[in-house]
Amino acid sequence: MSLTVGSKLINTGRFEYHLLTRKQKGNRAKKVLLVALMLTSLVDMFSMLVCFLLQTFSTTPEIYVANDVKLPEALSGGVVKEAPVLSVTKTALFLDQKEIGSMAKILKSPEPLLKGLEGFKQKWAKENPGKPYPGEINLQADKEMPSTDVAKLMGILNTQQYDVIQLAVLGAQ
């Protein structure tokens, strides 16, 4: 087989003939329509949508843990229920992130704690008329706190109809 490339006549076999004709066809001017999609902004929008949906439809509430509280570790745990949070550190006692006094002062005179707990009960009664108060509270006690102090605090909670006390712990990892 022979093929003319430019002004030269080339004797080739079948395969070379095919390659040369293909190359000559590729040199012709072609009209090419190039379409490109900008996917970056679409991916960004879907990422934000996923983040929004994950935060909105979370099945378990997130609870703030005070910086000074080092939670004890446990092998088992349960699902956190949404309830008021009582945080006990070495230096202070916090009820929903508001300092109400030191542990020693609260154990001697629990009036500030009782006022705060009563406020939660009144708020519940306004939001849920006719329903009994569930008496749930989340207790975050520092792992270095004496267990006797934590037990006394739990006794105060029980006298105020807080019968469901959930102790916050770190799960096994």
Does residue 138 form part of some domain? Answer: yes
The span from the CA of 81 to the CA of 136, in Å, is: 8
Torsion of CA 123, 129, 131, 136, to 10 degrees: -10
Number of domains in the chain: 2
Structure tokens at 21: 């004709």
Structural domain includes residue 67: no
Residue 48: inside a domain: no
pTM of the model: 0.58
Bridge partners, residue 3, by sequence: 10
Q: What is the pLDDT of residues 69-105, one digit of tens each?
A: 777 777 777 777 788 888 888 888 888 888 888 888 8
CATH code (residue 152) = 3.30.420
pLDDT in tens, 107-157: 888 898 889 889 888 888 898 888 888 888 888 888 888 888 888 888 888
The pLDDT of residue 48: 92
Which long-range contacts does 92-95 make (Cβ < 8 Å, 24+ apart)?
Answer: 92/68, 94/66
**CA atoms in the 13 A half-sphere facing the CB of 165:** 20
Picking from 122, 124, 102, 123, the residue whose alpha carbon sits closest to that of residue 112 is 102
* 89, part of any domain: yes
* pLDDT band at residue 50 under the 50/70/90 scheme: very high
79 within domain boundaries? no
Q: How far apart are CA 83 and CA 65, in angstroms?
A: 14
Is there a domain that residue 65 lies in? no
Mean pLDDT of 44-50: 91
HSE (CB half, 13 Å, CA atoms) of 29?
A: 0
Parent domain of 18 = 1-34
* Residue position matching structure tokens 């006394």: 152
